[in-house]
Each structure stands twice: as C-alpha cells, then as structure tokens.
C-alpha cells in the first residue's frame, strides 16, 4: 500500500459550486509503488479548473482540490518508479490508462478511462489521496494530479522529466493548455510548411497554436477574437493578420487574407457560429480542428462544398500529445527562442488564486500561473 505517515500540505479547496478557492491545511498520503510525490513550484490555471469549480460536467463533486498544470520537484518515489529520481524537475500532464486500444495507438486523450481518471475525484478504488485534517476525504486526482496544493501524488506516467536549464515556474501550462494548442497544429492537424493558418479565440490555447504554426513557416497566420487587447498580443506574437470576430465580412476577410481559403484552422471557442464560419473559410483540402464545446452544442454546414473541396473536421483532445516527448520538444523550441510561450503567462501568489480566476474570466490574464513554492 502506501508509505509512511501523511504529509502536511496546503491545498486550495472548493467547498461549494461556484464558490471561492479556500487555502486550507490538509493531509496527503504517501506514494503507491508507481507514484511520485511532487512538491509544486507553480501551477497554471486552465479554463477546465473554473468549469469544475462551478461544477459543470464532468467535474468531481465538492469538496475538491483542482489544478492540472502543475510543475514541481520529485521529493519521494514509490518502489516501482523506474524513470524518475528524487530531485527531478517534472511537468504534470493528464491521466490515461496506458493499456486500452486508444492509449496503445498513441491516442491517450481518447483513453477508454479518460473521464474517470481525470474527473473521477478519487483513485480507481474510490479513495482520495487528500483529506482534511480530521480525515474527511477531499475529492482529488483531478487530471491525475490536483496541483492546486503544495504537494501532489502522481502516477509516474503523468510526470514528465524536464531540463533543469529552464525555470520551473513557467513550465506548468505545457501540461495542458500550451500542449493542446501547439499539439493541435504540430500533431493532430500536422500543418504542412507554407500553409495558411487561422485560429478562432486568442486565449492560451489559441495563442499557443499561433506560436506553433510559426514553426511551420506559414504563408499567413490569422487570429480572430473579439477582445482588442488579445488581438494586439496576437500581433506582438507575430500574427500576420488579426480580425475582430464581430466584423460583418469575416468570411470574406478570411478567404482574402489566406489567399483563397484557409489551409488549417483551429477553433478554441466551442461557439457554433464561429465553427460554422471556420468550416466555410477552409480552402481546398483544408482542415479544421475543434478543441472546445459545450454539452448539447451543435453546428451545421453545407455538405456539398465541404466534400467537394476535400475538407476535414477533427476533434482534438490535449493536442494528441505524448507528453514525455512533446513537452521536451516544445522546450527545445522555447530555449532556441522559437516558441516564446512565456509571453502568455501572468504570475500570481498561491493566495491570489481567486484574483487569478477573476482575471482569467475578464480576459485580463491569458494564462495565470500560481506560484506555490
Ligand atoms: Zn486544461
Ligand atoms: Zn487508455
């Protein structure tokens, strides 16, 4: 079973749907044989954390500890951990079983057990790793980590060892938002060099996709959003064109700026009308990826022009990332100055978590990162 006595930690606990994150003392059990204990240095805040705080499906129920873009240092390891050492710097990514058909064929985001492993709120036996000081369980294992805490226990499969030459406090978002955007372009849609690229939504995922598209020597990069500050940032990050999504001639502009039709598009909004426009803006053999949506959301499109142009629509989870190879690859690009994802980050102290949520919702912060230890 597990080792030693529980560790004293501080965790950001959600006790009611939509309520604040409350920093509370808590207890964390020791690692099982295939787990490591990670001391969190910083954790990104992702939109899924806010949806789960508000108890939108498929969130674990309250009380719970969220957080799924953790970066930290391995401080203890289970007896069967074979590829991590105490002292390693790690980025934590999403959970997957590793044994189903999807996992074995490289599609971990489509794992048969994705929902229970990432949103189940406990381990496979219904036990949480975190309790309050009186021993009452706090739902955890969010994306296999629950990293809004000073320490987390994580299966070794979800902890990616990274170079110590890059400051650990910027790395957490690579584990979800950044790899989703970058992976969509570089893996799922595998954008061909010289393509035109358009992204809908200039949040962390969309702007990470923009940065990744620039690694493929694009003919044009177009960012669509309705927040002027975000469009301004997109320009600073090298977008060749930015468009206000409310403009009446959006479709025309997309076709013009891309030189007749977009080759690769990514929707990060989940908005039906936006997706429909994106589908119509595609050129011959163009493809559009979808990374967001709401339960019951629908989009419609005219079939004939879509198939006559040979277009593709693709659902994408986590950018089809194989984290242990993709995250180091992105870091190489970062260190070479080709992938400056740190420009998307705004830092907050752990106690400032509720302010970080507010700023994420208002659009003031693209990707808040909580500095924990
Ligand atoms: Zn996320
Ligand atoms: Zn699986």
Give the model's pLDDT for residue 310.
Answer: 98
> What separation in Å is there between the alpha carbon of 337 and the centre of ligand 2?
35
Please name which ligand lies nearest the alpha carbon of 106: 2
Please report which confidence band the pLDDT of residue 5 belongs to, taking 50, 70 and 90 as the band edges: confident
> What separation in Å is there between the alpha carbon of 60 and the centre of ligand 2?
20
Its CATH architecture, for the domain 7-175+340-371, is Alpha-Beta Complex (3.90)
> Mind listing the pLDDT tens digit for each residue in 211-243?
999 999 999 999 999 999 999 999 999 999 999
Instruction: Please say if the pLDDT value at position 3 is more than 80.
Output: no
What's the chain's average pLDDT?
A: 97
The DSSP 8-state label assigned to residue 109 in this structure reads G
Instruction: Please say if the pLDDT value at position 92 is more than 80.
Output: yes
- Residue spans per domain, the chain: 7-175+340-371, 180-317
> What separation in Å is there between the alpha carbon of 57 and the centre of ligand 1?
14
Please name which ligand lies nearest the alpha carbon of 96: 2
Yes or no: domain 180-317 corresponds to CATH 3.40.50.2000:
no
> What separation in Å is there between the alpha carbon of 45 and the centre of ligand 2?
25
Pick left, alpha or beta for residue 70 (phi over 0 → left; psi -120 to 50 → alpha; otherwise beta). beta
> What separation in Å is there between the alpha carbon of 199 and the centre of ligand 2?
29
Please report which confidence band the pLDDT of residue 1 belongs to, taking 50, 70 and 90 as the band edges: very low
DSSP 39-104: EEEEEE--HHHHHHHTT-TTPPPSSEE----EEEEEEEE-TT--S--TT-EEEE-----SSSHHHH
> Mind listing the pLDDT tens digit for each residue in 100-154?
999 999 999 999 999 999 999 999 889 999 999 999 999 999 999 999 999 999 9
> What separation in Å is there between the alpha carbon of 308 and the centre of ligand 1?
35
Please name which ligand lies nearest the alpha carbon of 108: 2
């Amino acid at each position: 079973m597990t080792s030693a006595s529980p560790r004293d930690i501080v965790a950001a606990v959600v006790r009611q749907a939509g309520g604040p994150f409350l920093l509370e003392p808590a207890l964390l059990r020791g690692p099982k044989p295939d787990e490591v204990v990670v001391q969190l240095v910083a954790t990104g805040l992702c939109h899924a954390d806010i949806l789960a705080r508000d108890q939108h499906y498929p969130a674990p129920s309250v009380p719970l500890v969220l957080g799924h873009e953790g970066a930290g240092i391995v401080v203890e390891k289970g007896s069967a951990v074979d590829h991590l050492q105490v002292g390693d710097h790690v980025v934590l990514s999403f959970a997957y079983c590793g044994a189903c058909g999807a996992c074995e064929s490289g599609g971990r985001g489509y794992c048969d057990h994705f929902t229970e492993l990432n949103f189940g709120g406990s381990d496979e036996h219904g036990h949480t790793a975190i309790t309050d000081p009186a021993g009452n369980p706090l739902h955890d294992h969010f994306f296999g980590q629950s990293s809004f805490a000073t320490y987390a226990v994580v299966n070794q499969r979800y902890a990616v060892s990274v170079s110590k030459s890059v400051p650990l406090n910027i790395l957490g978002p690579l584990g979800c938002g950044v790899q989703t955007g970058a992976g969509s372009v570089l893996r799922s849609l595998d954008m061909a060099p010289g393509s035109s690229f358009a992204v809908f939504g200039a949040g962390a995922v969309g702007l990470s996709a923009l940065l990744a598209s620039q690694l493929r020597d694009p003919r044009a990069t177009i960012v669509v959003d309705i927040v002027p500050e975000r469009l301004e940032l997109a320009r600073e990050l090298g977008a060749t064109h930015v468009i206000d999504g409310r403009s009446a001639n959006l479709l025309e502009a997309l076709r013009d700026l891309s030189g007749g039709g977009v080759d690769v598009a990514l929707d990060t909004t989940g908005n039906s009308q936006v997706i429909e426009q994106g589908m119509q803006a595609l050129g011959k053999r163009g493809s559009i990826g979808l990374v967001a949506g709401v339960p019951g959301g629908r989009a419609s499109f005219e079939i004939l022009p879509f198939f006559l142009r040979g277009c593709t629509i693709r659902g994408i989870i986590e950018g089809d990332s194989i984290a242990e190879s993709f995250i180091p690859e992105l870091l190489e690009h970062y260190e070479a100055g080709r992938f400056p994802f740190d420009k998307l980050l705004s830092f907050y102290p752990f106690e400032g978590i509720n302010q970080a949520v507010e700023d994420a919702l208002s659009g003031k912060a693209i990707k808040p990162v909580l500095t924990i230890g």
